[in-house]
Structure 1
Amino acid sequence: MQTKLVDDARHGDREAFGVLAGASVDRLYAIARLILRDTELAEDATQDALIRAWRDLPTLRDVERFDAWLYRLLVRSCTDIARRRRRWRAELTIVSREPAEPDRASELADRDELERGLRRLNDAQRSILVLNFYVGLPPSEVADALDIPVGTAKSRLHYAIEALRAALAADARSVGNADREGRTA
């Protein structure tokens, strides 16, 4: 079904593209929000990626790779917007602001810790981790989305995981130091 919609949209069918865009917009926005860490910038990146998709769709050679191609456009839009506006250090909001249920408290604490770790990464590291872990793309599809060789994607993913581990360890040390200072004061 999606293949036919992509093919129809490639040939100028606006309704087919509307269906594709409607099916993708929430996921694209969520990815952009994780990468950019700002809701307004994520909206801009999502809109920009969909505009680029409509404009460049006739050049898509393999309709089976539509999703990876769309992710690549989104990552490029995120990168362009971040460069233009220099807003890399905006707050990332992964955790909802609703009160936590007691049994979810540790899950939310883990998410908060992960959020702090992601803030410490650069845009390329954050992008590859978001595509692999949040979107669930295997390294081969991450490579397609970023337009890089599979080996490069695997290597960058490895280094991004190492950077996240280091960031989480540094965060844990700073929290531990703050706790000790609070007790001695």
Structure 2
Amino acid sequence: MDDVDIHLVRRAKRGEIDAFETIVRNYQDFVYRTAYGVTQHHSDAKDVAQETFVKVFLSVKNLKEERTFPTWIARITARTALDWIEKHRHIPQSNVALERLASNKNESQAADARIDLQRGMNSLSPEHRMVLVLRDIQGFEYEDISNILEIPIGTVRSRIHNARLQLRRELLSSEGG
């Protein structure tokens, strides 16, 4: 985090709405990508992102160290996304868009690979999706993921390893099938 971001967080902690709006603009893609990585559904990820920013707005004044803001917002996003999955587990995820894309013969191999990857990610548990998103998409270090998810670093390593193995099996089976 640079000094400008730290200053924004300090201003937001004081209740300055324009500073918070800037934080939202600066972090909205990060929050959405993290939420989408877990939910694997656009509208759910938008809802999780919105809920995350409400939580951040209500609790930013309690943040002790401004430099920890990226990890702190990642933790809120992770918890919110996992809670969302838990609350909405009974609602079947629609793969209509995926099926439509898969049936279109004009789609490129890159689109097919994205579809396979999304299906593979959907096959993972929310906990496994979360560690992969935080590590491989958002680029957090193992220790940061441990802090974000509040789990031991050994559990982080194990989940990442197992998630990658499962994802690899899913992707290989989709190639062969």
Give your verdict on TM over 0.5: yes
Q: CA–CA distance in 1 between the matches of 2:17 and 2:167? A: 42
Give the letter aligned to residue 55 of structure 2.
Answer: R
Number of aligned residue pairs: 168
1:61 maps to which residue? 64
Give the conservation status (yes or no) of the 8 Å contact 1:116–1:171. Answer: no
Identity %: 24
- Superposition deviation, residue 93 in structure 1: 7.1
2:122 maps to which residue? 119
Unaligned runs of 5+ in 2: none
2:172 maps to which residue? 169
Q: CA–CA distance in 1 between the matches of 2:19 and 2:33? A: 22
Q: 1:85 to 1:51 in 2, by over 3 A?
A: same
* Residues 70-112 of structure 1 deviation map (CA, whole Å, 9 limit, x = unaligned): 1111111112222222246443979xx6xx9x9x933333322
3-state DSSP class of the match of 2:108? helix
- Superposition deviation, residue 147 in structure 1: 2.4
Alignment of 1:66-145 (within 5 A): 66-86=69-89, 87=91, 89-91=93-95, 105-145=108-148
Of 22-31 and 47-56, the range deviating more from structure 2 = 22-31
Q: TM-score, normalised by structure 2?
A: 0.81
Instruction: Tell me which structure has the larger Cα radius of gyration.
Output: 1
Q: TM-score, normalised by structure 1?
A: 0.78
Give the conservation status (yes or no) of the 8 Å contact 1:89–1:119. Answer: no
Q: CA–CA distance in 2 between the matches of 1:56 and 1:31? A: 20
Give the letter aligned to residue 150 of structure 1.
Answer: I
2:26 maps to which residue? 23
Q: CA–CA distance in 2 between the matches of 1:130 and 1:46? A: 15
3-state DSSP class of the match of 2:8? helix
Give the conservation status (yes or no) of the 8 Å contact 1:38–1:92. Answer: no
Q: CA–CA distance in 1 between the matches of 2:96 and 2:7? A: 37
3-state DSSP class of the match of 1:133? helix
Give the conservation status (yes or no) of the 8 Å contact 1:37–1:92. Answer: no
- Verify: 1:158 aligned to 2:161, yes or no: yes
Give the letter aligned to residue 66 of structure 1.
Answer: F
Of 58-67 and 105-114, the range deviating more from structure 2 = 105-114
3-state DSSP class of the match of 2:140? coil
Unaligned runs of 5+ in 1: 176-185
Q: 1:72 to 1:65 in 2, by over 3 A?
A: same
Give the letter aligned to residue 166 of structure 1.
Answer: R
